């Protein structure tokens, strides 16, 4: 158990579907992150939330919509995705966004997304 | 800017071999340095870290020393096992910055 739980583990969706990824942590952390991991590409930071406020959007297309209702939960809402959006989506948390320098991140196991 | 460069993979070794995975960095401030490991089908796990020059991080037989003079943080293990097969990521974070900067990852395969 990593302390960060992501659901579902696997998701197959059509390009016209709407789905959501969920991330939950009970580590008392105040910062949460979405990363995209594609084959043969470096990890791409998508969004940063610090104390429930979005503090970074790394030029992510609007078909990805994050939501952070509280410091323990983070969602990624998906709609009208493209096949190239197929990837492993990783959620992470840290004590606070600027605290990652000393404490590092705790990652979830990821959601393997396939867009057909 | 801040960046991390890792040695190209994949790396394939026999069990009990000595492992080195090179990592060098470029940073505008004074970074903390990390190694993460990703086992098949899993997310990333923090393996070890070092927060200042000359610190040595160690865990599970792996170690890495923060070398400011060569801007490096190479990962080493004296005797690898099949269970060490995974992808290894070097990363840095600048104090006050909001995000970890990752290298591209190095896939390690250990054969029995």
pLDDT greater than 60 at residue A99: no
User: Cβ–Cβ contacts within 10 Å for residue A78, how many?
Assistant: 21
What is the interface size between A and B, counted as CB pairs within 8 Å?
A: 67
Q: pLDDT of A39-91, one tens digit each?
A: 878 889 999 998 888 888 889 999 999 999 998 999 999 999 999 999 999 99
Give me the residues paired with residue B34 across strands: B49, B91
pLDDT greater than 80 at residue B72: yes
Contact yes or no for B100 and A56 at CB 8 A: no
Q: Which residues of B fall within a CB distance of 8 Å from A98?
A: 95-98
B75: pLDDT confidence band, cut at 50, 70 and 90? very high
DSSP state of B98: S
B105 to chain A, any CB pair closer than 8 A? The answer is yes
pLDDT greater than 80 at residue A100: no
A74 to chain B, any CB pair closer than 8 A? The answer is no
Contact yes or no for A102 and B46 at CB 8 A: no
Q: Tell me what pLDDT residue A98 has.
A: 66
Strands (DSSP E) found in chain B: 3-6, 11-14, 19-21, 23-26, 31-38, 44-50, 56-59, 62-65, 75-77, 86-94, 101-102, 106-111
Contact yes or no for A105 and B100 at CB 8 A: yes
Q: pLDDT of B47-56, one tens digit each?
A: 999 999 999 9
Contact yes or no for A105 and B103 at CB 8 A: no
Q: pLDDT of A16-35, one tens digit each?
A: 999 999 999 989 998 999 99
Q: Tell me what pLDDT residue A39 has.
A: 83
Span of A102-106, B51-55, B99-103 with lowest mean pLDDT: A102-106
pLDDT greater than 90 at residue B21: yes
**Between residues B8 and B49, the one the model is more confident about:** B49
Among B42, B46, B96, whose Cβ lies nearest the Cβ of A104? B46
């Amino acid at each position: 158990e990593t302390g960060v739980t992501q659901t579902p583990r696997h998701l197959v969706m059509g390009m016209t579907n709407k789905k959501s990824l969920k991330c939950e942590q009970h580590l008392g952390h105040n910062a949460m992150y979405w990363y995209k991991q594609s084959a043969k590409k470096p990890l791409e930071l998508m969004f940063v939330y610090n104390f429930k406020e979005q503090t970074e959007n790394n030029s992510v297309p609007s078909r990805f919509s994050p939501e952070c209702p509280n410091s323990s939960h983070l969602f990624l809402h998906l709609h009208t995705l493209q096949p190239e959006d197929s990837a492993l989506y990783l959620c992470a948390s840290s004590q606070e966004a600027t605290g990652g320098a000393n404490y590092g991140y705790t990652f979830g196991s990821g959601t393997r997304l396939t867009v057909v | 800017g801040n960046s991390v460069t890792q040695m190209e993979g994949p790396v394939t070794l026999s069990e009990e071999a000595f492992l080195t995975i090179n990592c060098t960095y470029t940073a505008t401030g004074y970074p903390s340095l990390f190694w993460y490991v990703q086992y098949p089908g899993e997310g990333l796990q923090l393996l070890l870290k070092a927060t200042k020059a000359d610190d040595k991080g160690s865990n599970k037989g792996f170690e890495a020393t923060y070398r400011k003079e060569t801007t490096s943080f190479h990962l080493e293990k004296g005797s690898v096992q099949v269970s060490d097969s995974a992808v290894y990521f070097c990363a840095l974070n600048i104090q006050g910055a909001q995000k970890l900067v990752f290298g591209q990852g190095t896939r390690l395969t250990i054969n029995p």
